Amino acid sequence: MTDLVPIGRALISVSDKGGLIEFARALAGYGVELISTGGTSLALRAAGLKVRDVSEVTGFPEMMDGRVKTLHPMVHGGLLALRDDDEHLVAMAAHGIEPIDLLVVNLYPFEATVARGASYDDCIENIDIGGPAMIRAASKNHKFVTVVTDPEDYAALLAEMKRTDGASSLAFRKQQAQIAYGRTAAYDAAVSTWMAGAIGEETPRRRAFAGTLAQTLRYGENPHQSAAFYLDGSNRPGVATARQWQGKELSYNNINDTDAAFELVADLGTEVPACVIVKHANPCGVAKGATLAEAYARAFDCDRTSAFGGIIALNRTLDGATAEKISEIFTEVVIAPDADDDAKAVFAAKKNLRLLTTGGLPDPKAGGLAYRQVAGGLLVQDRDAGQLDLSALKVVTRRAPTEAEMADLLFAWKVAKHVKSNAIVYVRDGATVGVGAGQMSRVDSTRIAARKAQDMAEVLGLAQPLTKGSVVASDAFFPFADGLLTAAAAGATAVIQPGGSMRDAEVIAAADEAGLAMVFTGMRHFRH
């Protein structure tokens, strides 16, 4: 194996000291000379290991509060020198530069510093300079140098050295170089993104995005598509941070749908128990209730057919009674802030059901960015954190909504925000009774939602659909009166919509003639 490079000297400089001592002892056991900096050097010496300080190698002391210590030809020459280039070897000999075969670096905890809300100056101080420079140098020279940037790779390196009797293979070095470049790219992306926010730059010239692999998925939306799940480090409660208690691995579609369900249930708040059932990223049933079990039952009764194999999100701790109700049909995922022992015991018999708990709900008012790929680029926008200003609601019809109608209108509006456009949502007594999603025509969404309510009336044995006496929400304005009149024909008595159409006067007149109450929000919630 001619590509093997023995590891004789290692430079170690790490912020995360986890596993460091055991790892360094193993390296020393192979006779590797250890060079180190600052706190890492102190930790190794305290453990009884022989270490050379970088300042001894460079001939310069660490200075400027540690800002300058490894930015030196004695370090970078040792990392970058091509061992098969005679001119490089002559330069090394002339200047007393010794080769460095292994670089072990993890960076200043910039992301963690930002996450804890540190000041601007503290964040700046936690931007690593020497670390990324060394990592990039070692990675570029992976023909000869091994680089490790994650403590989780210590074991992999030691296994490689055991297999090769203290060396590393080119294939291993290439793999670690790719990991290292990914780390520095993610680090720079975090710095760039933070700084854009810190200085108020909403549209920076260049956007950098990064993620850490959480899970390789069996496939993507379809079996012929490969896929993986990456974390962005934001720690927003949800599917990315949840604990999975049981069930098989989440799929691409599971993750997407679970996120949609949990974001919607969070928008409903915690004042009363609430349940969301999602199928293919659209809610097929949403309801409030005196208990979670009641909320689930009412959400289920909106569209029992679509609920089969769906995703369920709850806004409170899942209890045994609710779990019993849920377990009556096949459900892919249940996600909640928590689950009690009774609920876990009920679901233990459902081996294909995934139970996730998050420890809390995401803040629907929190900012953040949303991305979508298009051919040749990315669309980037603020997360839709828009919340209604109740004082800005405008009653535009002769009849104002009753108190009960207004409560349902506000509930319907929150649901419509999470339904794919064109979105129409019928609500009665704090529960959806018809949802129309993703149609090219708003009137078609209105008809589909009403038709679903008719179908469910037959299933439930009702004399008439629950849209009779309901309210309706539209995520964007009615461009014509036809959609509104279709909702009225379905039995809706009140409407909430953004307004702003050229034909608002015509739509308002139609509402008045039909005896509807209608309010304008001045805000739309397109969701494509």
Q: Within 13 Å and on the Cβ side, how many CA atoms surround 2?
A: 1
Cα separation, 413 vs 425, whole angstroms: 8
Tell me which residue of 104, 126, 106 sits closest to 117, measured CA to CA.
126
Distance CA 98, CA 56 (A): 12
CB 422 within 8 Å of CB 476: yes
- Which residues fall within 8 angstroms of residue 46, CB to CB, at 6 or more apart? none
The three-class DSSP label of residue 419 is coil
Is the Cα torsion angle 78, 81, 85, 88 positive or negative in sign?
A: negative
Tell me how far CA of residue 21 lies from CA of 150, 183, 339, 351, in angstroms. 15, 23, 39, 41
Supply the Cα-derived Rg of the chain in whole angstroms.
30
Could you tell me if 204 and 192 are in contact, meaning their C-beta atoms sit under 8 angstroms apart? yes
Phi, psi of 158 (to 5 degrees): -65, -35
Annotated catalytic residues are 140, 280
- Read off the tokens for 295: 């909320």
**Following DSSP, what letter does each residue of 385-408 receive, concatenated?**
-----GGG-EE-SSSPPPHHHHHH
Helix, strand, coil percent content, the chain, rounded in steps of 5: 40, 20, 40
Please calculate the CA angle 351-356-361 and round it to the nearest 5 degrees: 160
Please count the other Cβ atoms lying within 10 Å of the Cβ belonging to residue 86: 8
Phi-psi region of 117 (alpha: psi -120 to 50; beta: other; left: phi over 0): left
Helix (H, G, I), strand (E, B) or coil at 309: coil
Is the C-alpha dihedral spanning 399, 403, 408, 409 positive or negative?
A: positive
Cβ atoms of residues 116 and 149 within 8 Å: no
